[in-house]
Amino acid sequence: MALTNNPMAEPYKIKMVEPVKITTKEYREKVAKEAGYNTFLLRSEDVYIDLLTDSGTNAMSEYQWAGMMLGDEAYAGSKNYYFLENAMYECFGYKHLVPTHQGRGAENLVSQTLIKPGQYVPGNMYFTTTRAHQELQGGNFVDVIVDAAHDPYNTDPFKGNVDLQKFEDLIKKVGAENIAYITVGVTVNLAGGQPVSMANLKATGELARKHGIKVILDATRAMENAYYIKVRENGYENKSVKEILKEMCSHTDGATCSGKKDFHTNIGGFAACNDDEMALKMRNMVVLYEGLQTYGGMAGRDMEAMARGMLESCQDHVMAHRIAQSEYLGNKLIAAGIPIVLPIGGHGVFIDALKFYPHIPQEQYTAQSLANDLYVHAGVRSVERGTVSAGRNKDTGEEIRPKLETVRLAIPRRVYTQSHFDVVAEAVIDLYKNRDQARGLKMVYEPKYLRFFQARFEKL
């Protein structure tokens, strides 16, 4: 099928371009300060290469754009909803779909439906919005990911796996009736985009089922995870991403999903499940928070674009290219001796800030400092995934100091070219050579919820 065996070669050509602004270092120093040294507070037009996130920053295809013109904007029963329902069933196989405006809308519905205050919610490492919704509902998040996930240099191919012993110990300790459900993230964003193996998903599902506990997949990057299973797990090399994805979901009871990642869209999300009663509850609640159960906060055209993107990205060669881009950037950094989380993640490259800036302690927000320095140096925007993102312990109020203090270079889908990645790599390498000059930060404004989005800092 392939004309080339280089998956880095784009399986698309460019039809429309968006010019970007070139700025000076003095200008970037000024705007970074104005933004409180928080890359979330920069203006997009001041950024040259934007690797803040791969969420909603994707380029849509002509097939998706054409679908936008077919939006059925009826308040109820839009035909785009039914197309989306079919696409979701074709790719994921869940019986019920509840559309939401984005992933966190689905997390809200699932948390409210399944968590009773005081219950425990284990998960394979936390994700910011997922945990926040669980805690808002009175749930207690418990990390049950394998230890390897917390070690940036452990090269286990499935570092996202659930540690079955930790899960079982929790069941023994608190009792299955006090566990709301288990969240399994595929891939695990904050561990560096690390996948979960099929064997682990199956075993997790079996253990949970034995105790009557539901498994809820965070399916946000499930297609990337399916691709990793194809190339890394024995017995899957001849199966398609689509077949693997369906098999993954068969070990779970439902899912929350951000449509802004793997589906090549700019907005959207859904909750899904097999249980009729759970679906009924979520459908009742969605009208309160998102919109009617046949649009969930999305315009008809957005549902159409998401459905089409879902079908497109569920193809082997699309995922092969996606993963090849992050590996290209990651391998350039590795070759220059830059400490990054291994194996290289699917949706981005994660720099180990504590090794990069060994003289800046975590109390001075090592990764936040590095993210800012990268912007000022080269106009490249990245994001902190360390102490600022981890927030505070909800009982003691103390800052959590995660073992992984990283800067994530997230890769939007179909947006940047090889030369852009070369620029990013050169900038990171330059900073590393001059790392002695870097200084830490102190936080001068801390919002109550998801503080990393709006916190402000000053240079020490």
List contacts with ligand PLP (CB under 6 A). Answer: 55, 102-104, 127, 129-130, 185, 189, 218, 220, 258, 260, 269
d(CA 424, CA 245): 32
DSSP element (H, E) containing 350: strand 348-352
Match 């090889």 to its residue by tokens: 418
Do residues 294 and 96 make contact, with C-beta atoms less than 8 angstroms apart?
no
Residue 232 tokens, joined: 């890394």
Task: Let me know how long the chain is.
Answer: 460
Closest CB 218 distance from ligand PLP, rounded Å:
5
CB closer to ligand PLP, 236 vs 263: 263
DSSP string, 248-303: HHHTSSEEEEETTSTT--SS-EEEEES-HHHHHHHHHHHHHHT--TTTTT--HHHH
Closest CB 212 distance from ligand PLP, rounded Å:
25
CB closer to ligand PLP, 255 vs 278: 255
Contact partners, residue 305, CB within 8 Å, separation at least 6: 60, 64, 65, 67, 68, 265, 266, 268
Could you list the beta-strand ranges (E) of 12-54.
Answer: 49-50
Closest CB 53 distance from ligand PLP, rounded Å:
8
Closest CB 355 distance from ligand PLP, rounded Å:
24
Chain-centre distance of CA 214, in angstroms? 22
CB closer to ligand PLP, 220 vs 387: 220
CB closer to ligand PLP, 163 vs 290: 290
- Crossing angle of helices 79-91 and 241-250, in 10° steps, is 90
Do residues 323 and 305 make contact, with C-beta atoms less than 8 angstroms apart?
no
User: Residues 34, 39, 41, 47: what is their CA dihedral angle, to the nearest 10 degrees?
Assistant: 80
Residue 89 CB neighbours (<10 A): 15
Query: 405-431 b/e with 16+ CB inside 10 Å = b?
Result: bbbbbbbbbbbbeeebbebbbebbeeb
Closest CB 302 distance from ligand PLP, rounded Å:
12
Q: Which residue is nearest to ligand PLP (CB)?
A: 103
CB closer to ligand PLP, 78 vs 194: 194
Closest CB 58 distance from ligand PLP, rounded Å:
12
CB closer to ligand PLP, 137 vs 364: 137
Query: 55-69 b/e with 16+ CB inside 10 Å = b?
Result: bebbbbbeebeebbe
Which are the catalytic amino acids?
A: 75, 127-128, 218, 261, 385, 452
Closest CB 190 distance from ligand PLP, rounded Å:
8
